[in-house]
Amino acid sequence: MRQPMNDRFVAGTVLTLAALRTAAAFALPYGEASSPFALRGGGALDATVEGTTTSTDAGSYLSDVPLGPPDAILGIAENFKKCDDPSKVNVCVGAYRDSDGKPWVLPSVREAERRMLDDPTSNKEYAAIAGDTSYVNLALRFAYGRDVPMENVAGVQSLSGTGACRIGGEFFGRFLPEGTAIYIPTPTWGNHFKIFEEAGLATRTYRYYSRETNGLDYEGLMEDLGKAPKGSVILLHACAHNPTGCDPTLDQWKAISDLIKDRGHRVFFDSAYQGFASGDAEADAAALRLFVSEGHNVALAQSFAKNFGLYGERCGTFSVVTNSPDERERVMSQLKLIIRPMYSNPPVHGSSIVRTVLSDEDLTAQYYDECKSMARRIGSMRSLLVQKLAEAGSKHDWSHVSEQIGMFAFTGMDADMCDRLTNEYYIFLTRDGRISLAGLNDGNVEYVAGAIHAVTDGKSIIPPIED
């Protein structure tokens, strides 16, 4: 078991100027200048401690701080904003846009906010460390189903899916044997590796997408999970796999569940698109609920960014299915110990929106219809893109795009093709060939299809998958 962070020795403590002044005030009587914390004329502090050198000149270390690379996705979005070409198209960031290319706040979300504003009992007090209990319970039932035994589910509010993954990584790192690795599909959301490595976990990969078939590499997946050391953590995308949009069938999920159980692996689901994938939140939860029904102690990172359109609210949950109320209580205590020094407690606005919607029968029904409409528009853009590619003269088989699900199309274009799309046509996308279909609409899909045809004509489209 990895030693908890608060029990580890932390070196390199930096004393602030204010702290040193306070230390000086209490170190010696006034006028005594022999203290290592001596005040110079004008009140400046000369802090010289044996074996150390302290300087008030911040540039002594800040000048050596290297420039970090831009984020692979958010950096592209910034470049899109700076571009002044009128034909520019952003198909990079995974955020929903309406048919006019504008962000869309769900009407059910607007109504929830109106009710919250009119509620005289609402306030801006701190949430508990674990978050809003009512919200967490509603969110977990949304994911696991109404019949889930809540007395056995340890759940906390998180800073969207990213925060949930980080809490989960910390939890596994503390309570699984030293050296336990988390196996991540290739390809995957680019932030997964960074999150789990920062949490101290070793990261490994398993095959997920086939370059030869432009589809799920089911045989490779099963072989790799079968060879992973017993007790490994297996990261699974609950639905609408990012970036491929390619999910196992329910029969394949059943076989994956059996293999994981046989190997004694731990399951960690990342659910970012429930309801957004097919338009049916119940259907999109099928894999997660299957694993729970088969006895896995599932861990779940849940986000409401995509399916509720709450991108900026950082609203999610992290949960673990335990075996008993006593086990749940102990897990909850440790999750709180992880959260408290990390961010203390979560923001309340986004969670209050979700709670307001899911606790009202009429608003819930309205939300389900709105979620279905988003999925329907994404699906229509997927079909229209393939149609327009054919009309542009493309000879490639784009059926893999038609068969994918969710927000993205994993086209198979390589990095050079993507660079040409950006540099010559001002179409901004990630260099793995992933296109956010939410960025397409009737006004730009023909232009995008024509540009894709121009950069892929006569060339192979093979998904560039890097380990």
Which residue in 189, 284, 414, 432 is the catalytic one? 189
Which residue in 270, 284, 414, 432 is the catalytic one? 270
Check if 306 is active-site.
yes
Cα separation, 138 vs 145, in Å, equals: 10
Which residue in 132, 224, 306, 414 is the catalytic one? 306
Cα separation, 409 vs 453, in Å, equals: 15
Check if 189 is active-site.
yes
Catalytic positions, written as ranges: 189, 270, 306
